[in-house]
Amino acid sequence: MEKYFLIRNRRVIKAIFNDSRIMLADLAYEYIDGEWEKISPNVVNDRLMGYDSTETTGSKIGNLEVIEEIREIPADKIDEYLK
pLDDT-above-90 percentage for the chain = 81
Question: pLDDT digit string (tens) for 30-41?
Answer: 999 999 999 999
pTM over the 0.85 mark = yes
Q: State the Cα–Cα distance between residues 35 and 49, nearest whole angstrom.
A: 27
Provide the CA 79 distance to its chain's centre, in angstroms: 17
Quick check: 5 pLDDT over 80?
yes
Q: State the Cα–Cα distance between residues 48 and 68, nearest whole angstrom.
A: 9
Check if the beta carbon of residue 45 is closer than 8 Å to that of residue 25.
yes
For the segment 21-25, the average pLDDT, to the nearest whole number, is 90
